Amino acid sequence: MTGIINYGAGNIFSLTAALNRLNIPYGMINIPEELEKYERYIIPGVGHAGAAMQKLRNSGLAESIPTLRKPVLGICVGMQLLTDFSEEGNSRLTGIVPLNTLHFNKEHGLKVPHTGWNQVDLDKQNLLFDGLGAQQYFYFVHSFFIEFNPKFTIASAEYGIKFSAVIQKDNYYGVQFHPEKSGVAGEKILSNFSLLA
- Taking a C-beta distance cutoff of 8 angstroms, is the pair 70, 39 a contact? yes
Catalytic residue among 36, 142, 178, 187: 178
Q: Cβ-count burial of 118 within 10 angstroms (0-12 exposed, 13-18 middle, 19+ buried)?
A: middle
Catalytic residue among 88, 114, 142, 180: 180
- Taking a C-beta distance cutoff of 8 angstroms, is the pair 135, 123 a contact? no
Annotation says 178 is catalytic: yes
Annotation says 180 is catalytic: yes
Annotation says 76 is catalytic: yes
Q: Cβ-count burial of 166 within 10 angstroms (0-12 exposed, 13-18 middle, 19+ buried)?
A: buried
Catalytic residue among 36, 63, 76, 103: 76
Q: Give the catalytic positions in this structure.
A: 76, 178, 180
